[in-house]
Structure 1
């Protein structure tokens, strides 16, 4: 820049208020634009960091959900296994007491239901039978009983009668837990439920 141009520029800055404000505004605007550029870079980086964090959080959530599902499956399997083992132990204990103390013969009856009378498809049907003085009692031992289990037990009794020609004198369910609907339905069908509830 020539010295004449500099002097003219400085003179305008001193004497012309409008020119002075225009130059100040331009200088300020340039500074603001520089700052905005810096902030925009920081915002872009922040946005990238937030997107990465969101991806990491989603992955963590997926991993946690998979972990919870695995734990739930293992607990369910353990519960089912414990329930079956408990039912078997209780069944053996009941059989021992009834046979030794009361002279009741108890046996496990298993028969193939080829027509699907009980479960609507071919399956093996199991039920405990107690016999004394010519009276037959069908016994179902289960870790818990729902209302939907009652008609199944009733169909087991009908299947037993169809196969053996013997109508059970009593139908008995032994369980530590039966819901209210199951108790109500059992009463309606003449099925006795022995439970702690």
Structure 2
């Protein structure tokens, strides 16, 4: 650049405010554009990293949910198995005591309900039957009784009567836990509940 051109350029910068702002703007804009280019590269990389992190978090969440579901299924299976084993052990203990000590004959009664009287579809119906001096008692042993179980037990008694022609004199439920509503409903329907809770 010639010295004359430099001098003219400097004069314009000193004397011409509009020219000075235009040059300053161009110089600043170029610097800003360079910085933006650098930042844009960093932003693109940051966005890619964030997307990767989001994918990793989603995968982790899915893996954790699958793990929790598996644990819950195993705990439920163990609880159900323990409950069934406990019910069976209690049933056998009750049967032994009643038969040995009180001369009550106890048997597990199982019949196919093709009409769906009890469960509203064809299924096997099971109930414990205790007989002494010609009196029949139907006994339901369960680890937990809900209100919805009460009408089902009532329908079991009706099914038993239809099949055998024998009306049970007493309906008895033995359980360590019964919902409050189940206890009320049983009382209303004349079903005895023996429970701790």
Normalising by the smaller structure, the TM-score range is: over 0.9
Query: SS at the partner of 2:119?
Result: coil
Partner of 1:93: 93
Does 1:195 find its partner at 2:167? no
Distance in 2 between the 1:121 and 1:13 partners? Answer: 97
Partner of 1:30: 30
Post-superposition Cα deviations, 1:14-45, rounded to whole Å, max 9, x if no partner, equal: 55555444323321221122112212221222
* TM-score, normalising length: structure 1: 0.93
Does 1:102 find its partner at 2:102? yes
Partner of 1:114: 114
Partner of 1:6: 6
Partner of 1:142: 142
Post-superposition Cα deviations, 1:113-167, rounded to whole Å, max 9, x if no partner, equal: 1211111111111110111111111000001011111111111111111111111
My pick for the range that moved more, 21-30 or 176-185, is 21-30
Partner of 2:84: 84
CA RMSD of aligned residues (A): 1.6
Query: SS at the partner of 2:109?
Result: strand
Partner of 1:165: 165
Shift of 1:13: 3.7
Distance in 2 between the 1:20 and 1:65 partners? Answer: 64
* Matched residues, number: 197
Distance in 1 between the 2:122 and 2:19 partners? Answer: 100
My pick for the range that moved more, 146-155 or 42-51, is 42-51
Shift of 1:188: 0.8
Shift of 1:59: 1.4
